[in-house]
């Protein structure tokens, strides 16, 4: 779903950041909770952090593929998961000149692959009991110089992805997640900074089921979409995006078409742990981090483990 506000990291309405009390002063805007609607049974995820009522006849139909389905606080609804190495494509939308995000975020994708953190997603499987693979690969990046202006609607995000594929900047890849990463001067009218920090969905592009996500730069609204103003890599916007992107990526691999893994309230795996960071440590610049991926420290939200009764954790 979407990375809900300050959370907003894709969880249902805002989940408060869970950091040790000693570090609470580093978190801005955590009390800004955005409530979309009461969670009810038979809700389905939208990819934006809130649910919608399932259409008649498409309610809470749980797969019976495994006896453990439903025992861990999240349920399988029969849809596909992403298998094998999940390819990732970036579309740098807007003005990213001189921004260190151009190295921080590619390093994130490389560091996630094979990590104990991304391994949490291997507890999710499809109808044939084939599990998600702990492997990600940044295949290619593209730039877009405001082809749809600085005020985007959801349809513009889809068109940006479609355009990058159509003009040959990026290939057609159905086993991938395309991230539209917008610079701080770009807004998304369906709720960026007010209802979410990022979201994921899918659509038919060039005849393929293409998975894509929107993640905006928290420099536009640090009190809503960044966990701390001093961050591990010295770029609060990029470091904030790292957690949102991790959130959307783990939801995309386990619920790519919004019909696989979510709970009775419509929360996907990362939604259930939005703004919960677990144990942290202090980095050399005084910021908080909770994991090292490659050579970098990051503060990344926990993810929901689909085992042992279900829980938010940083590793498996």
Among 25-34, 176-185, 234-243, the least confident range: 25-34
Q: Is the pLDDT of residue 76 over 50?
A: yes
Q: Tell me the whole-structure pTM to 2 decimals.
A: 0.85
- Token pair of 105, please? 């975020």
End-to-end CA distance of the chain: 22
**What's the chain's average pLDDT?**
86
Would the CA dihedral through 48, 53, 57, 62 be positive or negative? positive
Q: What is the pLDDT of residue 44?
A: 72
Confidence grade of residue 67 (pLDDT, cut at 50, 70, 90): very low
In angstroms, what CA-CA distances link 232 with 117, 148, 150, 178? 18, 32, 29, 25
Q: What is the pLDDT of residue 12?
A: 30
Share of the chain above pLDDT 70, in %: 80
> How do the domains of the chain map onto residue ranges?
3-36+76-313
By the 10 Å C-beta count (0-12 exposed, 13-18 middle, 19+ buried), 31 is classed as: exposed
216/135 Cα distance (integer angstroms):
24
Would the CA dihedral through 150, 154, 155, 157 be positive or negative? positive
Residue keyed to tokens 């677990």: 278
119/134 Cα distance (integer angstroms):
5
Q: Is the pLDDT of residue 56 over 80?
A: no
266/72 Cα distance (integer angstroms):
15
**CB-CB contact of 249 with 112 (8 Å):** yes
Q: What is the pLDDT of residue 173?
A: 99
**CB-CB contact of 138 with 110 (8 Å):** yes
């Amino acid at each position: 779903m979407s990375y809900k506000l300050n959370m907003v990291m894709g969880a249902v309405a805002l989940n408060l950041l869970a950091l040790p009390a000693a570090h609470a002063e580093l978190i801005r805007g955590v009390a800004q909770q955005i409530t979309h609607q009461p969670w009810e049974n038979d809700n389905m995820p939208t990819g934006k952090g809130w649910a919608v009522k399932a259409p008649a006849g498409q309610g809470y139909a749980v797969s019976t593929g495994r006896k453990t389905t439903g025992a861990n606080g999240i349920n399988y609804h029969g849809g596909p998961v992403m298998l094998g190495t999940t390819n990732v494509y970036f579309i740098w939308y807007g003005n990213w000149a001189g921004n260190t995000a151009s190295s921080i975020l590619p390093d994130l994708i490389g560091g996630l692959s094979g990590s104990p953190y991304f391994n949490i997603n291997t507890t999710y499987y499809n109808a044939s009991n084939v599990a998600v693979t702990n492997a990600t690969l940044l295949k290619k990046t593209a730039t877009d110089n405001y082809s749809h202006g600085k005020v985007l609607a959801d349809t513009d995000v889809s068109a940006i992805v479609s355009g990058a594929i159509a003009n040959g900047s990026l290939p057609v890849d159905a086993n991938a997640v395309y991230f539209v990463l917008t610079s701080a001067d770009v807004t998304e009218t369906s709720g960026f900074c007010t209802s979410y920090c990022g979201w994921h969905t899918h659509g038919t592009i060039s005849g393929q089921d293409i998975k894509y996500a929107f993640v905006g730069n928290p420099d536009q609204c640090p009190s809503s979409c960044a966990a701390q103003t001093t961050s591990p890599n010295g770029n609060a916007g990029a470091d904030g995006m790292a957690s949102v992107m991790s959130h959307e990526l783990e939801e995309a691999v386990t619920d790519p078409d919004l019909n696989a893994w979510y709970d009775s309230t419509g929360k996907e795996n990362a939604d259930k742990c939005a703004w919960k960071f677990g144990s942290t440590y202090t980095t050399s610049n005084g910021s908080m981090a909770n994991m090292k991926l490659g050579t970098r420290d990051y503060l990344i939200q926990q993810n929901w483990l689909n085992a042992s009764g279900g829980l938010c954790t940083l590793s498996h």
